[in-house]
Structure 1
Amino acid sequence: MLKNLSIIALMGIAMAGVSTEAYAHGNQVASVQSPQTALSSIVRQVGDQTVTIQFYSPSIVRVIKSASPDVAKRKKSYSVILKPLQVKGVAMQEKGDVVSMQSAFFTIELNQKSGEITFLSHDGQPLLSDTKTALDERHDAANKGMYRVKQSFRLADDEAVYGLGQLRDTHMNQRGRHVELWNHNTYIAIPYFTSEKGYGVYWDNAGKTYFDDKDNATSFTSELGSCADYYFMYKDGTQDGVIASIRELTGQATLFPKWAMGFWQCRERYKTSDELAGVLDKYRE
């Protein structure tokens, strides 16, 4: 189960102009199969939600579900530094209600009737399903126009997932858990999990968020947001591939210099500079 799983993966590592095919509102879709076309992003209206799917690289795809089409263009990220470019080698195909996009590493399928999104490995094995998105409008004056956002996924029954940050507990597998993702002293929350199947999911919302895994669904719920916004990452089915993708997406942490290695001390605070200097003097003794 822990094969190819690194300690970094366990902790969960700490639209510019692109060509987009926009479709008219409604759920009318062709009943015949369309030929494959090269396209790295699509926008579809499914019920009362606008679904935007955009590849950032062959191993990273972004999914946004919003109440209006312009939200995806206005949504800003505080953590993602990778800019979407025209990704080569992404083929789009439509068959009945289902539109699919395939990169060199995986396939994403959108059912335009149900709104369900399925992620498949290159050999057609199911990895993850996005089953439901709830956008509950906030009615308080301070958050007018915003939503309480809940994104649900379906995982395999026996699938283990890891991550969510540096939590103050002894759990590694996060299945069956309710976890508050809100930073506290010595509690570093990261809305990201990685699966033993070799994929990762990063939920891009900086607000107070909860991770829940129950018998019927695995979900992220954020108290405040303009839309559901997450990134799915899958490269070669290994944790190395997932880590490479999340570093590409959010930035590569600098390795500490040799002089910074060794004994580290941390405490909540020092009241005076003399108190801090006194600790250093004791170390020198």
Structure 2
Amino acid sequence: MTPPRTVLITGCSSGMGRQAALALHGLGHRVYATARRPETLADLAALGITTLPLDVTDERSMADAVAAVEAAHGSVDVLINNAAYGLHLPVESATPDEVRAQFDTNVFGLVRMAQLVLPGMRRAGRGRIVNISSMAGRFSPPGGAFYHASKHAVEAISDSLRLEVAPFGVEVVVVQPGPTITGFGATAVGTMHPAADPADPYGSFRTRLADMYAHQAFTRRSGAVPAEAATKVIVRAATAARPRARYAIGALARSTMLAKRLLPDAAFDALMRRSFPLPEPARPRPA
């Protein structure tokens, strides 16, 4: 039986973060569930889970949350960096502000949370950081450049961090979900705003990509896994006595990452073209 641990989780308003908070609380761990809007956590608080406001794009918010946990328990035993969202737009279409916001949440917030908990973990001589990456960290399809780039960054940062903090007794674990039946798809669709100009060369591509994410990509038929299945893997990553460096979630995640590793670029590009919509070049007008 794993002894009770103090667990701080970001992004608990929905999806895997919320499910992980419930599961770890049910196992007897001291869970601090956080979200930008703490009112979304009222039901978790009613169950006895400690809730805190935490916005991973706000320095004071992050520092205050970590300080509150350390004041009560000395250090964070397990940090689960879960807060993230997916920006899905053609590279040419995304604004600089949209790209910055994607990296502020998915990368810079994750890094800052790790920086804030590490001094306490080093003092305690133990700790674990679980970074929720994605199979997106291993390949990049059309329309997914910035979300996938952010997860590529999480993978690289985690690899370096794992080696840097191991001498202090701190472990770093990466979780790589494939498509999961949560609200992630709806959020992604919300970033695929329709083209303002009817002549936009990516207009129909955006429409078809949004339709795929809304109705196909996050269903059991497409290989998406229930949030509960993903939660079991996150709990294992957070509590295993000897955790692996990486945990992939779902057959689709494992098979796609294996294909990316083994196939030549041309063959993998062909797989992406069969799996995702592509922009349609304008037909030349007849003379």
Taking structure 1 as the reference length, the TM-score comes to 0.26
Higher helix proportion: 2
Q: Which has the larger radius of gyration?
A: 1
